Structure 1
Amino acid sequence: MTDVKVSSSPGQSRLYAAVIGDVVGSRSAPDRAGLHRAITAALAEAAGRAIDPPALTVGDEFQGAYRTVGDAIDAALSIRLALAPDVDIRFGIGWGAVTVLDEATGIQDGPGWWAAREAIEWTAAAQTQPGLALVRTAFRTDESTGPDANAVNAALMCRDHLLGSLDERSQRILSGLRAGRTKRELAVAEGISASAVSQRAGRAGLDLIMAASQELRRVE
């Protein structure tokens, strides 16, 4: 169950992409209030295409809902980059029916949320395995509907590995590229040459991450 609100009448079910996220190692954060302010600001940046904008629920966990799986995946990436490198986030994305049990309180239930919970629990377990230590995002779906979970997860694992391998400058450049800034503009901001930005984009896989993200955004 969750306490975010979906625009449906009580008892009515709709198909949505539910997103659950939480902070990796949050208990060791020295400034809890500052951490929550940073998360709240990052969630606001990912609210644009949400059915229900992502919001903190309990502790360092946040939840939100999107119309498509692609929108949910893209929002998760936006949140992750907005908080990097200081705050590390993991995500579970679930596709399925979401039912509003109580419109006044916003309490929801349904396969979409169960799938998202299963996904984030898998993500947390996967991080303990050496070969999957950089995985931060997983997707689950009701078996009867939604995109091919195996294909989506294969793409997410590869993208997460690339993201987890980036240094701070590459993360900033990637964030700038996603915001629509040119490589020349980013070069000026970083105090390096435009050719250095282009070389880094190719060598670190930034162009590949951008291309993969565009494809994942199309997932229905």
Structure 2
Amino acid sequence: MAPPAGDRPLATLLGDVIGSRTADDRQALHDTLTTALSEVSSEVSTIHDLQVTAGDEFQGTFATVGESLYAALLLRLRLHPDIDIRVGIGWGEVTVLDAENGTQDGPAWWAARAAVEWVEERQAATGWEHVRTAYRPAETAAAAASRTDAGPFPMDPGPSAEAINAALLCQDHLIGLLDTRSRHILEGLMHGRTQVKLAEELGLTRQAVNQRRKHDGLAIAVAAAESLRMVT
């Protein structure tokens, strides 16, 4: 976890578990989710680590939109096939209401909530079943950046929602087409594990791993994820 960000805008990650109410063992679901959130938080740079907030919801804050997007993808891959999630990323002001309990509010969280709700709505549409992630900058950030009286340091409006969401739609669709083994390989490649190591983990030959890497576009998926991670 990085030092607090002060007054600058933050990227907020808000997510929930799909179909959690019908889970056979909600305690096991909670434990699996909590473990994955802790693991991913240790693998990325956070302002406030990912944690369960209430029921099947979880959240975290990041200095950049790119880092939050990378965390969202890692978390989705880590939880598959046991848990499916949807995630909204927001950008803007964050107000800490209770530092001890991690209670936060503000435009960035409202934007993240709107993004999650959009994902939930779009998932029900034919042809959009694989959508899991969306990004929204807070309206106040965009408005403040356009003001002429905002002073020498106007609020950063964040990266383009249109560009980021176009990339996320393609990423989600690709991930949605992958089976469990290919998702495992993708996560391994994102962590720099060799094809030999991944073959051992999956009980496959190195050639089989390489075939999946090429056929399923996993090298491109890794490159795209790394490019998105650089977005500030």
Q: Deviations over 1:143-188 (max 9, x none)?
A: 5200001000000010001111111111111121122210122123
Are 1:171 and 2:183 counterparts? yes
Partner of 2:4: 7
CA distance in 2, matches of 1:102, 1:61: 18
- 4+ runs deviating over 6 angstroms: none
- In structure 2, what is the equivalent of residue 69 of structure 1? 65
How far apart in 2 are the matches of 1:184 and 1:106? 42
* Partner SS state of residue 196, structure 1: helix
1:153 aligns with 2:165: yes
Separation (CA, whole Å) in 2 of partners of 1:106 and 1:13 = 17
For 2:82, the equivalent position in structure 1 comes to 86
1:13: how far off? Answer: 3.7
Of 209, 216, 219, which aligns to 2:228? 216
- What amino acid maps onto 2:4 in structure 1? S
Q: Match for 1:29: what amino acid?
A: A
Task: Map 1:26-105 onto structure 2 (within 5 A).
Answer: 26-48=20-42, 49-105=45-101
Question: Structure 1: any 5+ residue segments left out of the alignment?
Answer: 1-5
TM-score after normalising by structure 2:
0.87
Contact 1:17 1:93 in 2 (8 A): yes
Aligned partner letter, 1:69: V
- Higher relative CO (Cα under 8 Å, sequence separation at least 6) belongs to 1
Structure 2 residues not aligned, in runs of 5+: 143-156
Q: Distance in 2 between matches of 1:123 and 1:66?
A: 21
1:113 paired residue number: 109
State the percentage of identical aligned residues: 51
Distance 2:103 2:193 in 1: 40
Match of 2:19 among 9, 19, 25: 25
- Residue 193 (structure 1) aligned with residue 205 (structure 2): yes
TM-score by length of 1: 0.91
Q: How many residues align?
A: 212
CA RMSD after TM alignment: 1.6
Distance 1:108 1:176 in 2: 33
